[in-house]
Structure 1
Amino acid sequence: MWHGFLDESRRGTTYLVAVTLVRSRDLDSMRSVMRGLVKQGQRRVHFNIEGDRRRKDVLTKISALGVRAHLWTCKHNNDSKARSACLFDMVPRLVDLDVSRLVLESCQHQDAADRKVLAAGARKFGASFTYEHLRPAEDPLLWISDAVAWSYGAGGDWRRRVADLVDGVCAVNVP
Structure 2
Amino acid sequence: MTSTAYGDESEPDERLAPGTYVLALALIDDAVAEDCRESMRAAKLPAQRKLHFHSEGRRRRHELVARVAELEAVHLVAVRTAAQEHSERRRRMCLKAVLPELEYKFGIDQVALEARERRQNERDLALLVQLRSSRSMGSSLRMNHPRGPVEPLL
TM over 0.5: yes
Could you tell me the TM-score, scaled by structure 1's length? 0.77
Of the two structures, which has the highest relative contact order with CA contacts closer than 8 Å and spacing of 6 or more?
1
Hey, which bits of structure 1, 4+ residues long, moved more than 4 A?
Answer: none
Output the amino acid matched with 2:8. Answer: D
**Are the counterparts in 2 of residues 92 and 127 from structure 1 also a CA contact under 8 Å?**
no
Q: Does 2:139 align with 1:127?
A: yes
Residue deviations 1:15-58 (CA, integer Å, cap 9, x gap): 01011100010111110110011101110110000001111111
Contact 1:95 / 1:127 at 8 angstroms: preserved in 2?
A: no
Partner of 2:56: 50
- TM-score for both structures, normalised by structure 2: 0.87
Gaps of 5+ in 1: 143-175
Write the letter of the residue equivalent to 1:113.
R
Look up the SS of the partner of 2:28 in the other structure.
strand
Larger strand percent: 1
| Ranges in structure 2 where 5+ consecutive residues have no aligned partner | 13-17
Cα distance in structure 2, aligned partners of 1:46 and 1:7: 10
Q: In structure 1, which of residues 70, 89, 100 is the aligned counterpart of residue 109 of structure 2?
A: 100
User: Which runs of structure 2 are paired with 1:13-24 in the superposition (5 Å)?
Assistant: 13-24=19-30
Q: Taking every aligned residue pair, what percent have the same amino acid on both sides? A: 26
Of Structure 1 and Structure 2, which has the larger fraction of its residues in helix?
1
Q: Which amino acid aligns with 2:37?
A: R
- Kindly indicate whether the alpha-carbon contact (under 8 Å) linking 1:20 and 1:70 is maintained by their aligned counterparts in 2: yes
SS in structure 2 opposite 1:127? coil
Q: Is the 8 A contact 1:4 1:21 kept in 2?
A: yes
What is the CA–CA distance in structure 1 between the aligned matches of 2:59 and 2:132, rounded to whole Å?
Answer: 41
What is aligned with 1:150?
A: none
The SS at the match of 2:91 is: helix
Count of matched residue pairs: 142
